[in-house]
Every structure is written in C-alpha cells, then in structure tokens.
Amino acid sequence: MLAMTLREYRAKRDFTRTAEPRGDAATTAGGTAFVVQEHQARRLHWDLRLEMAGALRSWAVPKSPPVTAGVKRLAVQVEDHPLEYATFEGRIPDGEYGAGTVKIWDRGTYEATKVTEEKIMLVFHGEKLRGPYVMIKTKFAEDSWLLFKMKET
C-alpha cells in the first residue's frame, strides 16, 4: 500500500540528482506528525503535509497557511510524500521536479477529530499552526480544498 501511494512521488523525481528522500525507511504506525514547508519554487507556496496511513498526505497552499480564524486558503492536494520528507530542507536542483528551496515553516503534531473523503477536522499543535482547523474539499476543481482555522471556544 505504501509503495502504491509513493509511486507518483518517485516517478516525478530523479534520486541520483535530488537530495529528497526516496522513502525507503520503515514506517511507524499511528503517528500524527505534520509539517509545513515553505517552498520557493517557480512560485512560492507552502506545502502542508499530514502523517496519515504511513505516508505524508500533502497539499500545496499558494498563500501562507492561515494563523487566525476567518481566513480561508486554497490547498491543492498533491501526491503523497514519504514520512522522511517531514525533515527535508534544502535545494532541489535546477531541472528537477520542484526545483528551488525548501525550508520548514512549521512542524509539530496534530489530532484528527474527523476524516472523511470531503472533510478533515483537526487540531494542530505547532508553533504557528495551533488550535482547531478544518479542511473541506471543494466542488469547483479536482484536488482543491479550503483550509481555515476555526474560532476557539
């Protein structure tokens, strides 16, 4: 199952050229880590990655993830990444997929309170992302979600 989920990730990358992980390490079950990587590629964006089912489920967020309630951000789901990607920082060489600079913007743990095909409710325990958030799949484009912070009660 893990090999399936990482097939697209590996197909896009030449691991003899990029220092990004191939994703061969054994996985630990039941983890709930998250990371947000600021990725200065052709376009600056933030990659939100949630540990789920032995991989990092990933979304590209074109504007920085919201840290206050009331701000909605588009989050485009991309291919799953290997768990080891959560610690990756550095340069992806020119000519390679995602060429540019990756640095960790935030990281920590999260608790999912609801996960369906269309909706993820979660509580982040990071430095910047903290408290209750919702992700909702939109109807207007495939793989597009909205990410926003809920008011804390």
Minimum CB distance to Mn ion, residue 36 (Å): 11
| Secondary structure E strands in the chain | 33-40, 44-52, 55-61, 72-81, 90-92, 100-115, 119-125, 130-137, 144-149
| CA 43 remoteness from chain centre | 16
Q: Which is nearer to Mn ion, 47 or 106 (CB)?
A: 47
Q: Which is nearer to Mn ion, 39 or 149 (CB)?
A: 39
Minimum CB distance to Mn ion, residue 118 (Å): 23
Q: Which two tokens stand for residue 22?
A: 């191939």
Closest CB to Mn ion: residue number = 39
Minimum CB distance to Mn ion, residue 92 (Å): 9
Minimum CB distance to Mn ion, residue 95 (Å): 16
Q: Which is nearer to Mn ion, 123 or 144 (CB)?
A: 144
The residues of the shown chain that bind Mn ion, judged by CB under 5 A, are 39, 47
* Short-list 94, 134, 129, CA closest to 113: 134
Q: Which two tokens stand for residue 53?
A: 């089912």
